[in-house]
Amino acid sequence: MNNISIIDSLNDAQRLAVSAPNRAMLILAGAGSGKTRVLVHRIGWQIQVEGLSIHNILAVTFTNKAAKEMRGRVEDLLNISAKAMWIGTFHGLAHRLLRRHAKQAKLPDTFQVMDSDDQFRVIKRLVKSLNIDDTKWPPKQVMWFINAQKDEGIRAKHMVESGDVYQRTMLQLYKAYEEICNRSGLVDFAELLLRAHELLRDNEDLLTFYQDRFKQVHVDEFQDTNTIQYAWLRLLTEGKDNLFVVGDDDQSIYGWRGAKIENIYSFQSHYPNHQVIKLEQNYRSTSNILKSANALIANNDARMGKELWTDSGDGELISLYTAFNEQDEAYFVVEKIRKWVSEGGSRQDVAILYRSNAQSRQFEEKLMTTRTPYRVYGGLRFFERMEIKNALAYLRVMSNHHDDASFERVINTPTRGIGTKTIDEIRLLAREQELSLWQAAITLISQGQMTARASNALKIFLNLIKSLGEEANDKELFEKVKLIVEKSGLVELYKKEKGEKGEARIENLEELANAARSFDFDEANEEKLNELDMFLAHAALESGDMQGDDYEDCVQLMTLHSAKGLEFKLVFLVGLEEGLFPSQQSADDVARLEEERRLCYVGITRAMEQLYITHAESRRLYGKETYPRPSRFLKEIPAEFLQEIRIRANVNRPVTASTSRPRTSVQQVGTYKMGQRVSHVKFGEGIVLQMEGEGAQERVQINFQDVGLKWLMLSYAKLQVL
Ligand code: ATP
Ligand code: MG
């Protein structure tokens, strides 16, 4: 590849950005304008033209999927293997640094990464063990507090105790939590970033080494960096003008997790020699899609302001579907996908995007029953499933006996006669003497004060872990996993679980061995680090790429947050309802509402050719039936870009029609008939206007006195005949 071909597929502004002489650069542009493309080509340019080695490049982004894609794009562009290149997520790269320099980071070699669920459990136990009332101090809130401090680079020791009860209690918990993590060699996600920052800040040699090594540092989705991430980037590029960032203020969607849009402004003052380049042409979407997105985001006040244009033609209108309920919504979407595939479309070009993970289940069920391959990103990720977490916990304690979180998880899973009393005693001793639970268990046995039965049961457990460790010692990674699965007793445990659930769990455990077998150790790290620990960290960091085959043509399901940076020909944006999207919590808060709107902007701009937006008139979510109003965002998309579609199993029939035909089965469903006066718990009184569908899909349209027309599923609506 020559120099020209690196820039010849770019427009003028993009070329300028890619080929600019080395200096700090800020590429500020809207969705689909080629920011990521510019970043990839910039890397190509530096290697090809500036003569940098792949070792000199650092590139960081937000999701594993985006990182994987970026690596792939660099490899395609340069026709090289970029495995050794430091391309990854902030968390992934921070982890890599900490593994390499565990000692200097003051971590044990066998430190383990906790995902947020693990972290939550540790905190929950902590709150309990300190006899703090968890109704007043919910562990979730404690977790948010701790993570928020870490995101700002604040350790417990930096905080001064104030007279305020809230602050005092939180600080006490933060301190105790830090102690537990240090003792157990546990690192949560926020800690990865904070410690990686401290590692470089406090070790001058190391910092100089990495500053020399990384001649160019690139950041995608810069608008979503938080304080500590940005501080880390600044350290790496201190005194040099080699930070290249791309971003879009309209796509900042992680404010709730500490992202600082202000970093874009700070960048401009920290790197005074920087150059700003704006990109204005969108290459991704049709004009109808783009104009809708532009119109929507114009409702936000806090914007740097920019307009995007495209020359790709109007394309189709955006389709809006009002579903009766969430099942109907899923049915509609899956049927559309089937049609797309039957017409030659590819499944991986299709994405279903939703606000909340809980929405995925309906779609999964419909996809499963129609045997449509799909993959869910995020959500209940493969590595988050209970059985997988149990197996991983065995592996973790095997690798690091002092990993308290995992110890607690497996000590009585499956049950082995170790009672709560024994476990409480272990905890108490551990707390009193500042021991790990493992050490405390050994001490307790040696003190000989337990009953023979309890002591024996505990010994058997400790020996099991030890002997598994010895047996696994010289085995391949996947054999280690198999060994654990077989000997931990988990398989027997799930065999006892009735029905498909147990079977599925056992299948998942088998899949874990496969995951270990195909674990790409090279990609994870170019040096020889402990394979098991790398795999375990991968399990904590990875967002569920285990469903479906990597190469299988799958429909993609994900939250709007995980869709950032991606694009699909056909997109379904589902659940556009008040209370869901925008979410309930954001409805009364202007800043949060604007963030929800940006999220909607992200969603719309994922679509290249066709966009369907759906909402349901009634929805069962989190176990409750709701009758949500359509999302305010729907009104913000100008009507000229929308077409409403209604798919009816039967043709709409007005009350007066069809009298000549014997249609009693349609006109009269159970006790309801057209023109019937009915009452609904929530909507009050109304008149049945239309009926359609059969069996569980039977539905009626009612004109309610107060709320007007509504379609309701008969099986859910619980109407009362008046
Ligand atoms: P987002 O804000 O969503 O992350 P982005 O600005 O990073 O979007 P890219 O993903 O880089 O945009 O580009 C969007 C699409 O447009 C991609 O398919 C990309 O290949 C294509 N594209 C970008 N620039 C050009 C160009 N000059 N010529 C042709 N296609 C382009
Ligand atoms: Mg991008």
Distance (Å) from CA 212 to ligand 2 centroid: 27
What's the confidence (pLDDT) of residue 80? Answer: 87
CATH code of the domain covering residue 37: 3.40.50.300
Please indicate, yes or no, whether residues 61 and 204 belong to a single structural domain of this protein: yes
Q: Which two tokens stand for residue 383?
A: 């590595």
User: What's the sign of the alpha-carbon dihedral 493, 494, 499, 501?
Assistant: positive
What's the confidence (pLDDT) of residue 383? Answer: 73
| C-beta of 283 in contact with ligand 1 (< 6 A) | yes
Residue with tokens 């290697």: 47
Quick one: angle between helices 531-541 and 386-399, nearest 10? 150
Please indicate, yes or no, whether residues 256 and 337 belong to a single structural domain of this protein: no
Residue with tokens 């400790």: 462
The atom number, within ligand 1, closest to the CA of 566 reads: 3
- Residue 661, in any domain of the structure: no
Please indicate, yes or no, whether residues 614 and 504 belong to a single structural domain of this protein: no
What's the confidence (pLDDT) of residue 320? Answer: 96
Q: State whether residue 563 is helix, strand or coil.
A: helix
Distance (Å) from CA 235 to ligand 2 centroid: 24
What's the confidence (pLDDT) of residue 304? Answer: 84
- Residue 125, in any domain of the structure: yes
Give the side-chain half-sphere CA count within 13 A for 390: 22
Q: Which two tokens stand for residue 23?
A: 């200096």
What's the confidence (pLDDT) of residue 604? Answer: 98
Please indicate, yes or no, whether residues 80 and 205 belong to a single structural domain of this protein: yes
Please indicate, yes or no, whether residues 97 and 203 belong to a single structural domain of this protein: yes
- The secondary element (H helix, E strand) that includes residue 22 is none
Q: CB of 80 within 8 A of CB of 110? A: no
Distance (Å) from CA 32 to ligand 2 centroid: 7
Q: How many domains does the chain have?
A: 5
Please indicate, yes or no, whether residues 582 and 555 belong to a single structural domain of this protein: yes
Single-letter amino acid, residue 486: E
Please indicate, yes or no, whether residues 459 and 513 belong to a single structural domain of this protein: yes
| C-beta of 31 in contact with ligand 1 (< 6 A) | yes
Q: CB of 399 within 8 A of CB of 480? A: no
Q: How many Å apart are CA 133 and CA 169, to the nearest integer?
A: 11
- Residue 654, in any domain of the structure: no
What range defines the domain where residue 683 resides?
668-721
Q: How many Å apart are CA 567 and CA 340, to the nearest integer?
A: 17
Distance (Å) from CA 283 to ligand 1 centroid: 6
CATH code of the domain covering residue 169: 1.10.10.160
Domain boundary among 184, 203, 226: 184
| C-beta of 223 in contact with ligand 1 (< 6 A) | no
- The secondary element (H helix, E strand) that includes residue 719 is none
Domain boundary among 255, 281, 307: 281
Greatest alpha-carbon pair distance for the chain in Å reads 91
| C-beta of 247 in contact with ligand 1 (< 6 A) | no
Neighbours of 152 (CB within 10 A): 16
Ligand nearest the Cα of residue 37 is 1
Please indicate, yes or no, whether residues 35 and 122 belong to a single structural domain of this protein: no
Please indicate, yes or no, whether residues 450 and 376 belong to a single structural domain of this protein: no
Q: What separation in angstroms does the CA of 104 have from each of 38, 97, 109?
A: 36, 10, 10
CATH code of the domain covering residue 700: 2.40.10
Ligand nearest the Cα of residue 10 is 1
What's the confidence (pLDDT) of residue 529? Answer: 67
Distance (Å) from CA 247 to ligand 2 centroid: 8
Q: How many Å apart are CA 292 and CA 636, to the nearest integer?
A: 8
| C-beta of 14 in contact with ligand 1 (< 6 A) | yes
Nearest to 325 by CA among 702, 718, 704, 699: 699
| Among protein residues, the one whose CA lies closest to atom 2 of ligand 1 | 31
- Residue 189, in any domain of the structure: no
Task: Return left, alpha or beta for 417; rule: phi > 0 is left, psi -120 to 50 is alpha, else beta.
Answer: left
- Residue 453, in any domain of the structure: yes
Distance (Å) from CA 214 to ligand 2 centroid: 22
- Residues of the chain with pLDDT below 70 are 1-4, 378-382, 499-500, 520-529, 542-551, 622-623, 646-675, 693-697
User: How does DSSP assign 252-289, residue by residue?
Assistant: ---GGGTB-THHHHHHHHHSTT-EEEEE-B--SS-HHH
- Residue 232, in any domain of the structure: yes
- Name the residue of 7, 28, 33, 223 whose CB sits within 8 Å of the most ligand 1 atoms, as the mutation to test its pocket: 33
Cβ < 5 A residues, ion ligand 2: 35-36, 565
- Residue 268, in any domain of the structure: yes
Please indicate, yes or no, whether residues 410 and 450 belong to a single structural domain of this protein: yes
Q: Which two tokens stand for residue 635?
A: 């009104």
What's the confidence (pLDDT) of residue 69? Answer: 87
Q: What separation in angstroms does the CA of 277 have from each of 216, 218, 353?
A: 18, 15, 31
Please indicate, yes or no, whether residues 166 and 119 belong to a single structural domain of this protein: yes
Domain boundary among 228, 256, 281: 281
Task: Return left, alpha or beta for 434; rule: phi > 0 is left, psi -120 to 50 is alpha, else beta.
Answer: left
CATH code of the domain covering residue 420: 1.10.486.10
- Residue 301, in any domain of the structure: no
| C-beta of 33 in contact with ligand 1 (< 6 A) | yes
The atom number, within ligand 1, closest to the CA of 281 reads: 24
Q: What backbone phi and psi angles, to 5 degrees, belong to 438?
A: -60, -50
- Name the residue of 283, 290, 601, 608 whose CB sits within 8 Å of the most ligand 1 atoms, as the mutation to test its pocket: 283
Please indicate, yes or no, whether residues 446 and 346 belong to a single structural domain of this protein: no
User: How does DSSP assign 357-374, residue by residue?
Assistant: GGGHHHHHHHHHHTT--E
